[in-house]
Amino acid sequence: MKKYHHELHDNKLIDSKLHQYLDAIESNSIVSVYTELRLLLYVGILLFTGGVGYFAYQNIGDAGHILLQLVLFIAIILGLVFLQKHAQPFTRAKSIVEHSYFDYILLLVSLLCISLFTYVLVYFNWYEQALKSTSFISAILFFAFAYRYDNKAVLSIAITVLVAALGISISPVNWIQGEWNSTLELYNVGICIGFVLLTIGKVSDKYNFKSHFKFTYQNYGYLILYISLITSIIESDYDIYFALSGILCTSIFGYFNWYKKDFLFFMFSCITFYICFSYALFKLIDLFNNDLWMLYFYYVPGSIIVFILFLVNKKSHFKHD
Amino acid sequence: MVYNEELLERFNLREKANMLFKSGLIDKTQELEIRRQYKTPFYTPTIAIKALLFLAGILGVSTISGPLTLLFSGGGDIGLRIMTFIVGFGVILLNDRILIRDKYHYKSGLTRALSYSGSTFIYFALLGYNLESKYAYLLLALGFTSIIYIRYIDLLALAASILLFYYTLFSVFYDLGGLFQNLIPIVFMLMSWIFYVLIRRIETKNTSEIYSSSFTIGKSIFLILLYASGNYYVVRELSISLMGLSLEAGENIPFYLLFYVTSTFIPLAYLLLGIKNKSILFIRFGIICLILSFITLKYYYSFGMPVLTITLTGAFLIGLALGILNYLKRIRKGFTREKLLHKDWDTEDFSAIIISQTAGGVPQSEKDLFQGGQFGGGGAGGQF
**For residue A73, pLDDT beyond 60:** yes
Compute the average pLDDT of residues A115-139. 78
| Residues of chain B contacting residue A34, judged by C-beta atoms under 8 Å apart | 336-340
| Residues of chain A contacting residue B53, judged by C-beta atoms under 8 Å apart | 308, 312
Both A93 and A194 in one domain: the answer is: no
Both A213 and A147 in one domain: the answer is: no
| Residues of chain A contacting residue B356, judged by C-beta atoms under 8 Å apart | 153, 156-157, 159-160, 171
pLDDT for res A98: 80
pLDDT for res A169: 46
Both A162 and A204 in one domain: the answer is: no
SS (H, E, C) chain A: CCCHHHHHHHCCCCCHHHHHHHHHHHCCCCEECHHHHHHHHHHHHHHHHHHHHHHHHCCCHHHHHHHHHHHHHHHHHHHHHHHHHHCCCCCCCCCCCCCCCHHHHHHHHHHHHHHHHHHHHHHCCCHHHHHHHHHHHHHHHHHHHHHHHCCHHHHHHHHHHHHHHCCCCCCCCCCCCCCCCCCCCHHHHHHHHHHHHHHHHHHHHHCCCCHHHHHHHHHHHHHHHHHHHHHHHHHCCCHHHHHHHHHHHHHHHHHHHHHHCCHHHHHHHHHHHHHHHHHHHHHHHHHCCCCHHHHHHHHHHHHHHHHHHHHHHCHHHHCCC
| Residues of chain A contacting residue B346, judged by C-beta atoms under 8 Å apart | 35
Q: Which domain holds residue A129?
A: 58-168
A82: Cβ contacts below 8 Å, ≥ 6 apart: A105
Residue A41 lies in a domain: no
Length of chain A counted residue by residue: 321
Give the helix/strand (H/E) hosting B335: strand B335-336
Compute the average pLDDT of residues B53-64. 85
For residue B378, name the pLDDT band (cuts at 50, 70, 90). Answer: very low
**For residue B379, pLDDT beyond 70:** no
**For residue B367, pLDDT beyond 70:** no
pLDDT for res A79: 93
For chain A, the first-to-last Cα distance in angstroms comes to: 30
- In Å, how far is A185's CA from the nearest CA of chain B? 23
pLDDT for res B360: 56
Q: Largest Cα–Cα distance in chain B?
A: 75
Length of chain B counted residue by residue: 384
Residue A258 lies in a domain: yes
User: Do the chains contact at B337 and A100, CB–CB below 8 Å?
Assistant: yes
pLDDT for res A47: 87
- In Å, how far is A231's CA from the nearest CA of chain B? 17
- In Å, how far is A35's CA from the nearest CA of chain B? 8
pLDDT for res A168: 54
> Which is more confident, B193 or B103?
B193
CA dihedral A114, A116, A122, A126 (to 10 degrees): -80
Q: What is the per-residue pLDDT across B2-33, written as a single tens digit (0 to 9) for each? A: 888 888 888 888 888 888 888 888 888 888 88
Residue A32 lies in a domain: no
Both A264 and A320 in one domain: the answer is: yes
Domain limits of chain B? 177-301
> Which is more confident, A286 or A158?
A158
Which member of B30, B334, B369 has the closest CB to residue A31? B334
Among the listed ranges A61-70, A234-243, B197-206, B344-353, which one has the minimum average pLDDT value? B344-353
User: Do the chains contact at A44 and B13, CB–CB below 8 Å?
Assistant: no
**Which residue is closest to A3 within chain B, CA to CA?**
B207
Both A94 and A207 in one domain: the answer is: no
Cα–Cα distance between A216 and A214 in angstroms, integer? 6
Q: Quick check: B53 and B108 in contact, CB under 8 A?
A: yes
Q: Quick check: A80 and A109 in contact, CB under 8 A?
A: yes
pLDDT for res A320: 57
pLDDT for res B197: 94
Residue A23 lies in a domain: no
pLDDT for res B384: 30
Cα–Cα distance between B116 and B123 in angstroms, integer? 10
Domain boundary among A168, A202, A221: A168
Both A68 and A197 in one domain: the answer is: no
Q: What is the per-residue pLDDT across A266-295, written as a single tens digit (0 to 9) for each? A: 989 999 999 999 999 888 888 876 677 677
**For residue B176, pLDDT beyond 90:** no
Distances (CA, A) of B98 to B3, B94, B95, B111, B148: 13, 5, 6, 10, 17
Which member of B209, B307, B321 has the closest CB to residue A58? B307
Compute the average pLDDT of residues B55-69. 81
pLDDT for res A132: 64
Cα–Cα distance between A175 and B131 in angstroms, integer? 52
Among the listed ranges A124-138, B33-47, B166-180, B193-207, which one has the minimum average pLDDT value? A124-138
Domain boundary among A137, A168, A199: A168
Compute the average pLDDT of residues B59-68. 80
Q: How many separate domains does chain A show?
A: 2
For residue B269, name the pLDDT band (cuts at 50, 70, 90). Answer: very high
> Which is more confident, B249 or B195?
B195
Distances (CA, A) of B184 to B175, B221, B289: 11, 17, 20
User: Do the chains contact at B375 and A2, CB–CB below 8 Å?
Assistant: no
What percent of chain B shows pLDDT beyond 70?
92
For chain B, the first-to-last Cα distance in angstroms comes to: 31
**ipTM computed for the complex:** 0.81
Q: Quick check: B57 and B109 in contact, CB under 8 A?
A: yes
Among the listed ranges A78-87, B304-313, B371-380, which one has the minimum average pLDDT value? B371-380
| Residues of chain B contacting residue A152, judged by C-beta atoms under 8 Å apart | 348-349, 352
Both A148 and A201 in one domain: the answer is: no
CA dihedral B220, B344, B380, A45 (to 10 degrees): 80
Both A228 and A147 in one domain: the answer is: no
Residue A40 lies in a domain: no
pLDDT for res B150: 92
For residue A181, name the pLDDT band (cuts at 50, 70, 90). Answer: very low
Residue A39 lies in a domain: no
pLDDT for res A225: 92
What does the mean pLDDT of chain B come to?
Answer: 83
Both A164 and A189 in one domain: the answer is: no
Cα–Cα distance between B88 and A49 in angstroms, integer? 54
**A161: exposed, middle or buried (Cβ count in 10 Å: 0-12, 13-18, 19+):** buried
pLDDT for res B143: 95
Among A16, A26, A28, A32, pick the best mutation site for testing chain B contact (most B Cβ within 10 A).
A32
Both A63 and A134 in one domain: the answer is: yes
pLDDT for res A269: 93
Cα B61 to its chain centre, rounded Å, is: 26
Both A251 and A281 in one domain: the answer is: yes
Residue A309 lies in a domain: yes
Q: Quick check: B116 and B149 in contact, CB under 8 A?
A: no
pLDDT for res B270: 93
pLDDT for res B201: 92
Which amino acid would we find at residue B15?
E
- In Å, how far is A45's CA from the nearest CA of chain B? 6
Compute the average pLDDT of residues B180-186. 86
| Residues of chain B contacting residue A216, judged by C-beta atoms under 8 Å apart | 349, 352
Q: Quick check: A170 and A224 in contact, CB under 8 A?
A: yes
Which residue, among A73, A98, A107, A104, has the nearest Cα to B322 in the 3D structure? A104
Where would I find the H helices in B244-301?
256-277, 280-300
Cα–Cα distance between A306 and B274 in angstroms, integer? 50
Domain boundary among A114, A143, A168: A168
Among A6, A22, A42, A98, pick the best mutation site for testing chain B contact (most B Cβ within 10 A).
A42
Cα–Cα distance between B135 and B125 in angstroms, integer? 17
When computed from its CA atoms, the radius of gyration of chain B, rounded to whole angstroms, is: 25
Compute the average pLDDT of residues A181-197. 76
